[in-house]
Chains A and B, each alone.
Chain A
Amino acid sequence: MQNNLLKSFAGRQGWTSILVLALVLMVVFPLGLDIFRLNLVGKYLAYAFVAVGLVVLWGYGGILSLGQGVFFGLGGYCMAMFLKLEASDPISTKIQSTPGIPDFMDWNQLTALPSLWQPFQSFSFSLLAVIAVPVLLALIMGLAMFKRRVGGVYFAIITQAVALILSVLIIGQQGYTGGVNGITDLKTLLGWDIRTDTAKYILYFLCAGLLIGAIITSRYLLGGKFGMLLLAIRDKEDRVRFSGYDVANFKIFAFCFAAGLAAIGGALFTLQVGFMSPSFVGIVPSIEMVIFAAVGGRMSLVGAVYGALLVNFGKTYFSESFPDLWLFLMAALFIGVVMAFPNGIAGLYESIAKRRSAKSDDTKSEPLASAPEKTAAAADKAHWPHPGAATATQS
């Protein structure tokens, strides 16, 4: 049993697959693609951070957050606010009626930098805020909900509502946030021009390196006791609770971890693309981020990266060449990964690999860490999950 489990972990998140991914990201892409396309890949890799976080949160923890765009956006905005302040020094903004404040504030008749923006003049504070602000929000949301045993679809709906609130707020408060256009015209980072090709190369390698680091950290977390407990909570929450664990704390940690990863992704996105806007915060981008993880395989950290790359390549290619087909394809992806391929690309790859190894020797190992519906549905056949079920337990 223990052996099988280890084997399945090794097969899924083994060092080989991480090494292959690192080779692809660090050697194949930079050698094979010109800087324009490499920059695009870097942008997709920023999304992959969110997908990796969702593997931990959703694949292992069974907690579906439809608000990852909130954390991605907050991380991105924290970074963008610093860059924007640097870009709007008094000399380059001297034609404004109030020089030294970001251009959109000037357009909205603001005459001084709002106090919310003041601390973002410091680079170290901004770097801290990139992680701290989203994780703090996740902590508050997690404490409020998981301690009260809100889970499942209720959690999904509330996170979605938070995504709506934040995007409406950003669009509504034009003078403070840049409104629907977002924060644009970002130029330098501590005097270093981020728009040159060299800078783009460096930022790409930074992004890819951090992503590999994030995968290794997640793998370390999931490979240990924490991963076991998350799986157990996903499949039979009550039993874990009755065994004496505080289920809520594990869920809160997973949520904060995923939020932190999403925030790093958002900050790297801002650096590579040069702007941040509410179109990465709302309901639609948040749910699209779930599909990256689902296509790659919700149980596979490495798969999530491939999923993010594949879906985004598809989006760029189809929305340029066949815009009508793209939404149909997206619809098919959503329905397909649910109905036919619950384990995504990683699952497909594994079933092929298993068939091959089954031919060579007869010992079949059943992977324990498969998508939830098989184990959970089998155990829960008699029960009918109802939205009230999550809350009924507490009364």
Chain B
Amino acid sequence: MSPSEIGGIIAMQGFAGLSLFSVLLLMALGLAIIFGQMGVINMAHGEFMTIGAYTIYVFTTTAATYFPAFAPYSFLVAILGAFCIAFAAGYLAEYLLIRHLYRRPLDTLLATWGLSLGMQQIFRSTFGAKEVSPVIPEWLLGSVKPTEAIDIPINGLFVMGLTVLVTATVFLMLFKSRWGLRVRATVANRMMSNAAGINTKKVDRLTFAIGCGIAGVAGAAFTTIGSTGPTSGSLYIVDAFLTVTFGGAASLFGTIASAFGIAQTQSISEFFMTGSMAKVLTLLVVVTILMMRPQGLFASKVRR
């Protein structure tokens, strides 16, 4: 094996790890807001991602049949659409279900599991049990080849770019906007925020809906990697929760760090053993560390 080939393998391996990192981070970001900031266990998070994925499917196939000229750009518009529809669904779910359960976290868990089952059946009744794939525009297909040994798929790069964009937006919104200020105030001290004139109920609803919207964007991005079925969202839910918990619930930096750590562990161990054993090993490491250090990597210093 020549040095350039080894370099290529290392580069490809590094890219696989980064690609998994962006996938994990993207799906954990919405949860980092809902679970990390609000403390709501949303077991239907994966289904909000599926909403985003199906939105892409509907948008791009409609565009491809009725407005062929518009088709190359429809994907970008569809991502916005995915955010809006998942946002609306989240808003509705908060209003009908979640807001009654804020004081009962374990019951929220069960109720949102029920919600996820209901949503899965709605997907199945609407789109069928078979997995669907959206019309991916030309510019997302193919790969970049900087050298002979390295072959980087464009859709992976696209997901990475989108992850950076969404993460930056979440940071800006959480730390620079009025909404972010209200969310942080509510998390730090609900009573005091109420007294200071923040409508915490409104903040809750908006926060939950934004988290769901981000889940929708994540689901939209994943359509470039794999196909979408009624139950594909449920595959992500444990990974997403572990990522957020492992990072330290209220810390956004923690979520990024833990997504990076989990992704690298997984992709490096995948090089040495089968995929399922790599998954077992990664999860075992995460669970063991969580048992040792239940507050996660970055514990928040807020006094409660």
Contact = CB atoms under 8 A, between A and B. Distances in A.
Contacts of A112: none
Contact of A324 (B97, B121, B290): B121
Given A331-B121, A388-B250, A157 B241 contact: yes
B111 A392 contact: no
Contact of B118 (A165, A328, A380): A328
B113 interface: yes
Interface in A253-301: 283-284, 287, 290-291, 294
A388 B294 CA distance: 9
A202 interface: no
Interface in B85-130: 97, 100-111, 113-118, 120-121, 124-125
A243 B99 CA distance: 34
A395 interface: yes
Interface in A348-395: 372-373, 376-377, 380-382, 384-392, 394-395
Nearest to A154: B294
Given A283-B238, A373-B103, A145 B294 contact: yes
Contacts of B41: 153, 156-157
Interface string B8-46: 000000000000000000000000000110010100000
By DSSP majority rule, is chain A's interface helix, strand, loop, or mixed? helix
A324 B125 contact: yes
B302 A327 contact: no
Which among B105, B107, B114, B191 has the highest number of chain A CB atoms within 10 Å?
B114
Contacts of A380: 103
Given A161-B238, A161-B286, A385-B39, A64 B109 contact: yes
A174 to B, nearest CB: 10
A213 interface: no
A168 interface: yes
A164 B284 CA distance: 10
Contacts of A28: none
Contact of B105 (A327, A342, A385): A385
Contacts of A160: 238, 241
Interface residues of A, number: 62
B287 A148 contact: no
A144 B276 contact: no
Interface string B114-155: 111110110011000000000000000000000000000000
Contacts of A335: 97, 111, 114-115, 118
Interface string A300-343: 00000000000000000000000010011011111101110010
B121 A161 contact: no
B109 A153 contact: yes
Interface string A136-148: 0000010011001
Contacts of B234: 283-284
A152 interface: yes
Given A328-B121, A386-B39, A387-B39, A334 B111 contact: yes
A168 B121 contact: no
A158 B287 contact: yes
A290 B110 contact: yes
B113 to A, nearest CB: 6
B99 to A, nearest CB: 11
Interface string A26-40: 000000000000000
B63 interface: no
Interface string B241-253: 1100100011000
A150 B300 CA distance: 16
Interface string A118-134: 00000000000000000
B58 interface: no
Nearest to A290: B110
A149 B280 CA distance: 25
A373 B295 contact: no
B253 to A, nearest CB: 15
A207 to B, nearest CB: 27
Nearest to B35: A387
Nearest to B299: A395
B302 A148 contact: no
A172 interface: yes
A330 B120 CA distance: 11
A199 interface: no
A148 B291 CA distance: 8
A319 B121 CA distance: 13
B190 interface: yes
A334 B114 contact: yes
Which among A149, A158, A291, A380 has the highest number of chain B CB atoms within 10 Å?
A158
Contact of B102 (A294, A334, A384, A394): A384
Interface of A: 58, 62, 64, 66, 141, 144-145, 148-150, 152-154, 156-158, 160-162, 164-165, 168-169, 171-172, 283-284, 287, 290-291, 294, 324, 327-328, 330-335, 337-339, 342, 372-373, 376-377, 380-382, 384-392, 394-395
Given A386-B187, A388-B299, A395-B295, 4 more contacts: A148-B291, A161-B238, A338-B108, A338-B114
User: Which 6 residue pairs across A and B have the least CB separation, nearest first?
Assistant: A334-B114, A172-B276, A331-B118, A327-B121, A144-B291, A386-B39
13 contacts: A144-B292, A145-B291, A154-B290, A154-B294, A156-B41, A158-B291, A165-B284, A168-B279, A168-B283, A284-B234, A327-B121, A338-B114, A388-B249
